[in-house]
Structure formats: structure tokens, C-alpha cells
Amino acid sequence: MAEKHPAPRVGLFVTCLVDLFRPTVGFAAVKLLEDAGCTVEVPSAQTCCGQPAFNSGDRRTAQELARNTIAAFEGFDYVVVPSGSCGGQIKKHYPELLADDPAWAARAQRLSARTYELVSFLADVLGMTDTGARYDGTVTYHDSCSGLRELGVKEQPRRLLASVEGLTLNELPGAEVCCGFGGTFCVKYPDVSNRMVEAKTADIQGTQADTLLAGDMGCLLNMAGKLKREGSAIRVRHVAEVLAGVTDTPPIGEKA
Amino acid sequence: MQPTTHAFPENARKALSDERLQKVLAIAPAGFVNRRKQAADRLPEFEALRDQGRDLKNHVLANLDTYLEAFEAKVTGQGGHVHWCRTDQEARDAILGICRAANAKTVTKGKSMVSEEIGINDYLEANGLTPIETDLGEYIIQLRHEPPSHIIAPAFHLSKKDVEGTFRQAHTDLPPDRVLDDPKVLIAEARTVLRRKFQQADVGITGANLMIAETGSTVIVTNEGNGDLTQILPRVHVVIASIEKIVPTLEDAALVLRLLARSATGQEASAYTTFSTGPRRPGDLDGPEEFHVVLLDNGRSALLGTEFQEVLRCIRCGACMNHCPVYGAVGGHAYGWVYPGPIGSVMQPALLGVKEAGHLPNASTFCGRCEAVCPMRIPLPKMMRHWREKEFEQGLQPAAMRKGLGLWAWFARRPALYHAATRMAVRALGALGRGKGRFAKLPLAQGWTQYRDMPAPEGKTFQQMWAEKKGKR
Amino acid sequence: MADTSSARAQILGGIRKALGSAEGSDEARKRLAVHPRNLVPARAQLPQDQQVDLFVAMATEVAATVERLPALGDVPRAVAEYLAGLNLPAEIRVAPDAALDAIPWNERPTLTVSKGRARDSDGASVTGAFAGVAETGSLMLLSGAERPTTLNFLPDTHIVVLTRSQVVGTMEDAWDRLRGLGVAGTMPRTVNFITGPSRTGDIEMRIELGAHGPRRLHILLVED
């Protein structure tokens, strides 16, 4: 498509957790998008999508942060997010949050229509089939809840992972069951959250995979933190790192 | 039943350390999940039926007054009685009044969540009557003085050994040498005991999965047949139902029934679906001589026109709890009152107030699995979020969380400051964590590090690195 | 009886206030009068002979047993052999249903036959049915002076005589037949849809048959 049309202008919404904990994911996303013929920009006016406030019942703050994000991302052909959770917030919840705000409702709708989770954007919008990447290992994949149920991210990562040379995917039983992160949930109800992530890591260990992948940093920090606490050698990475072949940084929770 | 919903964290901890319960929870919900999936997959129209179910109930709620009046007219036209009750107390009194008028001593009961909601058993007992639950699971937990732990499998937290112990204690005429180690034998034992009760009963109380405005019928769906024996053997049949259970017509009942059994147990149809209309007719050889419908509001009409209206679409199938990872971790009793699982997390704040039940809508990861399977497509996470909004408005959330999020939001509204602050924080944390790549302990993050390590940040923010890179380009 | 009229007024008033209307709706009244069908699954929308096969398959799936008979005259033999095959006493309680009058019970003198509602001591009952619903393998039974409901629930063994022409596709088809009886607006006191024998999964989620109702449901499907 790059030959016929001008390169699509993509705004990358980095997400807080990638910005703070795992810049590697951001660069992997940029590489994947640029390799596919996009021009990528990262507006510096972006901060947080507002989901923590939204899910804590603070609708007003959520609305303010939504307006901030909308303003920061106007004018792009697409807005791409390496997270189903933040992507879902923008795509599904912004229009609902600002529905009664005459100055912003239409702008929220417009942003929603142009916003995509990274992997589904690559597969569904750009029609990517082959990443040209290589990863030597047996991986398993956890479907993060928001990506799966709000945005329908299910087959796309599997399709793209299948094109990665050297990679074997062992399906994770209960891949669609929540890992117990849930934002503030995991610190508000640590015992319940622990039971959930414990069940998840047991399932992960059962797959015999050497690498765990997922598309959301929250879930990844949670599962990596638990695996490391349990002394597991399983490497944990964001799926974009493997798809982009950007695996020179240490896996999540491991030293350089 | 005195709610302990405010103590959800303690209830949850207790449940998490209950090994027997954990063993059951590791298996049972998954069984329901698989069976529902098989049933749904087998019916190509299942998803379309869910859309129609949602639309039907929305239509019903928008015309609730018309349908309730039509229903009432049909019931009374056929010699039955309708008792309108605003509150649980009015419903208890209405039922007690019916029992007293019938000179009742023994009252058999079919399974009904609304009867749990109004606490009818304790009330009848306190007034000298003997209420007997006849659904096997309900009977077992009644003997144990426990509340149900699941809305369609009330005793699923118990093992056959527990049931044996319960029967040996309650059925005092059981010979000690009688072997009771097989569910079959336990079921036969309960059947024999309860047969006597069915015959003795003066009044039978059932719930209603549906009420039909067109015909004045009430509908129950069971597998055991206890709900039928409860209503055809005693002289008086009392139906206790909440107002939102009404559907317009027999055709509409067919729609809901196609969704109900599949979502609940994964059956194509439950063994017994029974439509009851009025008292027995002249010449009938059996059936109740009196038919009463106790129509309960108990705060439901107050949900109409609010952000919680859609919860009134619920048909009480239990699919949301079967699919809920939180329910799967702690079971039903931790929710501290009648309705567990996601539906409970929305209903209980409505019925008990956010002060008592505020934990429940918070104890969710918003994973969305409940909404994904709800036959009536109730947006359960969205409604839990609305309860969180109510709590926020009333300042009921923990101070530390409010402050933390407030601070975060303050920075997030100021991008330049935000990026400067996060750069500093990440540099400090990154330097501290570089040795191991993670933290086993972190101040202010105990909830996290109690059970898991905190992966260390890389040391620079993406925004910082991006700006540096752009500078070079 | 307690007066609940003020509660009634308040509940309905509250609903109307929330809905913003006191008139009731014509749309609702029309729905009650017209009772439109909703989406009906394609599964049972078949020619009648295929509906009969589907009925048999679905009923068998839920642990009912089905025997096909050429004529009502074969019922006594089939009942006697069914009971003998299970070592059950040759005693049946039969619904005093005119539809079953043509059954020549006296051709089977070893079978003890009595008629009436069920008593606690009855081990096996024989009833007719109003319809068989192919979609789910359900039997539809109506109560009435000739059709006591206790026969469907008290005995351990319930034998149902269903004629081939009684098999319909769906519950909606069955409602149409019921409405066709001309008892418009008046349902029998009890309409039972029975799908297999009584069962429970309440102890350790293991499905066991014969919880409170019949342990065995045997369907005699008779040509007509």
C-alpha cells in the first residue's frame, strides 16, 4: 500500500506503563509501524488515558484526561496503542464518557473511529501477514481481557506469531481468563488477586513454554512479577517485542 | 439474613484459606462454563436470541405498569390473588397472613432467590411455622443453617461427606450402620424424608422464573420436580416473585426459556418447565385450591430510569458467576448476602446500599467475561463502575487510594510536569532495581509485593528516549 | 387478608413516574393481543416425520426411553413388558383420560390397572400427553379433570402415551395448538413441559436421576 498511497500518519499513544516501565515496547511498536509503511509520531502532550480515574468512579477527572488525549491526537490518520486496555478506554469509553458534552462528543467519536490496538491494527488494517521476525523459543500467549472482549483481539496476534521464524506457540489453557491484575484491584484486594495470578502462572508453567507473551503491560507486570517470585525461568515479553524482533533488552523483571 | 457484605475482604480471606472450598471451586465453575459453551455452540441462533432477549426485557421494563396490571387482571380473573409488596417486610407479612388464614403448620418451599432476599424461612419459623426447603441443595444448606453459595447450585461448596454428616445429624432415625457414601443413596434418603413433608404441607411456596401477562401464569424451571410437588400437593400455592420477572406472552416465555437453561446448566431444556395459572379448576382431581402471587418491589422500581435499570433484565441463570474469576477464587459466601457473583455486585448495593455493599463493585477486574456470557447482555462491569461513581461522589473510598489517584491525575493533566516527574521517578526506580531487574519489596506497594515481585523500569521513559532520538535525527 | 392496595398504587405510581407516562402503552396492549413469535430456531422447522425423529433423538438424549408402537392396542403389552423388563410390579395408575379409553387393558389381565390421581403408593403411572416438542424432546401435559398432575410427579415410573400426530416442532407450535382448543385466554391450571426424568446435580455436580419426581420416563410413541 505504501507505493500507491501516501504513508498513513500514525499517532502512537504510548500508555503510562510502557512509557514508565518498558520503553522497549514503544520502540518495537514504532518499528513495526514504520516497517509497514507508516509515518509515526508521538505527541508529547499525551499523558494517561484516564482509565484509572474512570474505573475508580472519578468521572470528572476521566473526562478531563479524555479531552487532553483527544486534543493531543487530532489530525492523525490513525492512533495506535500497544495495549488493549488503554485502547479500549479510548475506543469504547471516550464516546460514552463525553456523550453529553456537546463540545467534545463528536471529537471523541472521531478519535474512537481512528484508534486501534497495535497488533489488530497491523493485521486487520495494514493487512500484515509476515513480520519477517525471528524468535527461537516456545511461547505461550495470554489474551488480555480488554483487548479480547472490548476490541476483539484474538486471532491477530496468533496469526502474526505464526509468521515468526523459529517460534512455536503452545496454547495456554484458560488463556481468556483474567490474570488478576485489574488496575487498582490488585492492590485493593491483594489476596483475591493473588489467587487469580497463582492459577494463571500454574497454567503458564503447564504449557512448557519458555516465554510468556501478552499485549498489555499491566497483565505482563502482574504475571512476570508472580513468575519471578515463584522462581520461574520463564521469560516474559510484550508480544510487540517478539513481532518486531526487538529482543535485545532483558525480559520483563530480569536484570541486564 | 444479616448481611456481612461490608466484610468482603475478610470473608474472601477466609474462603481462600478454606481448602475444601478451594477444591470445589477449582472444578465446579469450569464444568458449568464448558456445558454452557457446548449448548450455545449447538444452537446457531443463540447469539441472535440473546439480542432478542435483551430487547424483550427492555420493552418489558418500558411497559412494566401495563404488563403488571394485565397480569394481575388475569390472575384474579381466574380466582387467584395478587399481593403487592413494597418491601421485604410487607412480603413476609403477606406470606405469613396467607399461612395463618390456611391454618398452616408445615410449609414446603421450592427454590427461590427472592424468598432468600426477604428471609422468609426465619420469619415463618419465628412465627411458629415449619418451612422446609425441598430443592435438594437448598434442603441440605437449610439443615446446616447456611445461605446458598450459588444461585442455581446452592450446596455446590459441599462434598458428599459433608452431606452425609448433615443427614446423620438431622435424620435421627437413620441407623448408624446404613452406608451413605454414594450420592445416589443420599438422594434417595432425602427423597424419602421430603416425600413425607410434601404430604404434610398445608402451604407450598415457589418462586417464579417468569410471570406471563397474557395468561396470568407463573413459570418455574426445575430439574428435580420438587417445585411441582410443592405446588400440587398442598391446599395453597404461594408464588413469590419480583416485579421484573414479567414477560408479555407465551411466545416471549419461549424465548427466555431457550436462553435460561442453556446459560444456567448447559441443558437444552430443564427437566420440568411448569406453567401455573390460578387455583385448581372445578372437577380437577388435584392441584391447589388457592393461588397467591406475592409481587415484590423491594427497591426495583426505584432503579427504573436510572443507570442501573438494565440490571432488571436479569433472569438469574448464574452464568455471570460461573464465568467470574473473582467468584471462582472466593465462592458465593464471601459476598455476604443473597446474590453472589457479578449480578450480586450490582444488585446488592441496590438492595443493601453502597455503604454495606460497596466492596463488591470494587472487587472486580472488569475482565468483562460476565457481560460476554450474560443471556440478557447486561453490561455488568459498566454498572459496577456506576456504583464506584456513587461511592466516589459520597467520598466512601479509602483515603490513600483517593489521594494517590488524585495526585496522579493532577500530574496527568499537566503534560510537561508529568513528563518531568515521571522521568525523575523512573530514573530513581531504574537505578535501584537495575541489579536484579525487579523489587521484592517497595514502599507504598505492599499490596503488590506481598505476593509478587515488581519488575523494575528500564531507567528512562519512552518519551525521554523518543525526544533524544528525535534530537539526533 | 391484608389490604395491599396502597402498596399497589405506590408501586405502579413509582413505575409510571420513572417511565414518565400514566397511560400504559398501546404497543404493549397490542403485543398481548397479537402475541407475535420471536426468533424460532431452525432446528425443528422440519416436515412432520422428521420432527418425530428429532423428538425421539432429543428425548433419548435426556435419558427418556422411547418405544414406537403401531397402534393403541399395543399399549397394554408394551407397558407390561416394560415393567417386567425392569422387575417392577405389574401395577399401573392410569389417568382417567378419555383419550386413553381406547386402550384395551383387559387384554392383559396380569396388569393391575386403576384410575385416578396418584397416591403415594403408586409405583407407575400411565398418562397421555397434549404434545411432544421436537426441538427439545419435551412432553407437554395439561392438567384437567381427566388429567391429574400428580401422576406426572409422584410415581417412580411415568409412562406417557403420545401419538405421532401430537409431535410438533417447537413450544410456539404447541402454544398455537393450545390456543386452537378454543379455550382462549384460559390456560389449564398446570401445563407441564417434561424433558426427561427427574434429576439433580446438587451433590458434587454429579447428575443423578430420580430426585423428587420420576426416576424413569418411558414414552410410547403410537402411530395414528
Query: SS3 for B291?
Result: strand
Contact across the interface for B281 and C145, Cβ inside 8 Å:
yes
Q: Chain B residue closest to A46 (CA)? A: B415
Q: Is A34 on the interface with B (CB under 8 A)?
A: no
Spatial separation of the C-alpha atoms in residues C107 and C111, rounded to whole Å: 9
Q: Is B155 on the interface with C (CB under 8 A)?
A: yes
- Which residues of chain C from 102 to 161 reach within 8 Å of chain B, CB to CB? 116-118, 120, 135-138, 143-145, 148-150, 152-154
Task: Calculate mean pLDDT across residues C101-123.
Answer: 96
Q: Chain B residue closest to A144 (CA)? A: B367
- B29: pLDDT strictly greater than 90: no
Spatial separation of the C-alpha atoms in residues B266 and B438, rounded to whole Å: 45
Q: Give the tens place of pLDDT for each residue, C19-58.
A: 987 777 899 999 999 999 999 999 999 999 999 999 999 9
Question: What are the extents of the domains in chain B?
Answer: 43-301, 404-472
Q: How confident is the model at residue A1, as a pLDDT?
A: 45
| Distance (Å) from the alpha carbon of A105 to chain B's nearest alpha carbon | 19
Q: Give the tens place of pLDDT for each residue, B271-295.
A: 999 999 999 999 999 999 999 999 9
- Which residues of chain B from 257 to 276 reach within 8 Å of chain C, CB to CB? 257-258, 265, 267-276
| Residue C35 neighbours by CB distance under 10 Å | 18
Q: How confident is the model at residue B402, as a pLDDT?
A: 85
Q: Is B54 on the interface with C (CB under 8 A)?
A: no
| Distance (Å) from the alpha carbon of C107 to chain B's nearest alpha carbon | 28
Q: How confident is the model at residue A2, as a pLDDT?
A: 44
Contact across the interface for B251 and C38, Cβ inside 8 Å:
yes
Task: Calculate mean pLDDT across residues B230-258.
Answer: 98
Q: Is A87 on the interface with B (CB under 8 A)?
A: no
Which chain B residues are within 8 Å of A27, Cβ to Cβ?
462, 465
Q: Give the tens place of pLDDT for each residue, A231-248.
A: 999 999 999 999 999 999
Q: Following DSSP, what letter does each residue of A167-203 receive, concatenated?
A: EEEPPPTTTTS--S-TTTHHHHSHHHHHHHHHHHHHH
Amino acid code (one letter) for C15: I
Q: Give the tens place of pLDDT for each residue, B411-432.
A: 999 999 999 999 999 999 999 9
Task: Calculate mean pLDDT across residues C169-197.
Answer: 90
Q: Is B86 on the interface with C (CB under 8 A)?
A: yes
Task: Calculate mean pLDDT across residues B112-119.
Answer: 96
Which chain A residues are within 8 Å of B443, Cβ to Cβ?
none
Contact across the interface for C203 and B160, Cβ inside 8 Å:
yes
Contact across the interface for B413 and A57, Cβ inside 8 Å:
no
Task: Calculate mean pLDDT across residues B385-390.
Answer: 97
Q: Give the tens place of pLDDT for each residue, C47-95.
A: 999 999 999 999 999 999 999 999 999 999 999 999 999 999 999 999 9
Q: Record the cell numbers describing residue B215, joined without a space.
A: 395468561
Q: Which residues contact B4 (CB under 8 A, 6 or more apart)?
A: B11, B336, B337
Q: Give the tens place of pLDDT for each residue, B253-266.
A: 999 999 999 999 99
Q: How confident is the model at residue B34, as a pLDDT?
A: 96
> What residues pair up with C70 in beta bridges, in sequence order?
none
CB-defined contacts B:C, below 8 A: 290
- Is C196 or A1 the better-scoring residue by pLDDT? C196
* Residue B307 binned pLDDT confidence (cut-offs 50, 70, 90): very high
Give the residue from B138, B228, B231, B290 with the most C CB atoms within 10 Å of its CB, the best one to mutate: B228
Amino acid code (one letter) for A91: K
Structural domains of chain C, with CATH: 1-36 (no CATH), 43-222 (3.40.50.10420)
Question: What is the DSSP-derived secondary structure letter of residue A122?
Answer: I
Burial class (CB in 10 A: 0-12, 13-18, 19+), A166: exposed
Q: How confident is the model at residue C183, as a pLDDT?
A: 62
**Chain B: touching chains (3 or more CB pairs < 8 Å):** A, C
Q: Is A188 on the interface with B (CB under 8 A)?
A: yes
| Distance (Å) from the alpha carbon of B167 to chain C's nearest alpha carbon | 13
Q: How confident is the model at residue B434, as a pLDDT?
A: 82
* Residue A4 binned pLDDT confidence (cut-offs 50, 70, 90): low
Q: Record the cell numbers describing residue B164, joined without a space.
A: 452425609
Helix spans in A73-210 (H) = 84-88, 94-97, 105-114, 118-120, 145, 151, 155-162, 185-188, 190-206
| Residue C223 neighbours by CB distance under 10 Å | 13
- Which residues of chain A from 144 to 173 reach within 8 Å of chain B, CB to CB? 145-146, 149-150
Q: Chain B residue closest to C144 (CA)? A: B284
- C163: pLDDT strictly greater than 60: yes
Contact across the interface for C18 and B304, Cβ inside 8 Å:
yes
Structural domains of chain A, with CATH: 9-124 (no CATH), 130-244 (3.40.50.11810)
Spatial separation of the C-alpha atoms in residues A230 and A236, rounded to whole Å: 14
Q: Record the cell numbers describing residue C61, joined without a space.
A: 438424549
Contact across the interface for A23 and B455, Cβ inside 8 Å:
no
> What residues pair up with B85 in beta bridges, in sequence order?
B296
Q: Considering only CA atoms, which of B36, B33, B66 is closest in space to residue B50?
A: B36
Q: Chain C residue closest to B254 (CA)? A: C171
Helix spans in B224-267 (H) = 226-232, 250-264
Task: Calculate mean pLDDT across residues A1-9.
Answer: 71
Cβ atoms of B459 and B437 within 8 Å: the answer is: no
Of B195, B199, B280, the CB nearest to C189: B280
Q: Is B34 on the interface with C (CB under 8 A)?
A: no
Task: Calculate mean pLDDT across residues B144-154.
Answer: 88
Q: Chain B residue closest to C202 (CA)? A: B137
CATH superfamily of B43-301: NagB/RpiA/CoA transferase-like (3.40.50.10420)
- A3: pLDDT strictly greater than 70: no
Q: Give the tens place of pLDDT for each residue, B160-172.
A: 999 999 999 999 8
Q: How confident is the model at residue B410, as a pLDDT?
A: 92
Cα of first residue to Cα of last residue in chain C, in angstroms, is 51
Contact across the interface for C39 and B48, Cβ inside 8 Å:
yes
> What residues pair up with C66 in beta bridges, in sequence order?
C219
Of C41, C120, C136, the CB nearest to B45: C41
* Residue B396 binned pLDDT confidence (cut-offs 50, 70, 90): confident
- A163: pLDDT strictly greater than 80: yes
Of B389, B422, B438, the CB nearest to A228: B438
Spatial separation of the C-alpha atoms in residues B426 and B418, rounded to whole Å: 12
Spatial separation of the C-alpha atoms in residues B224 and C209, rounded to whole Å: 8
Q: How confident is the model at residue B153, as a pLDDT?
A: 87
Spatial separation of the C-alpha atoms in residues C168 and C191, rounded to whole Å: 16
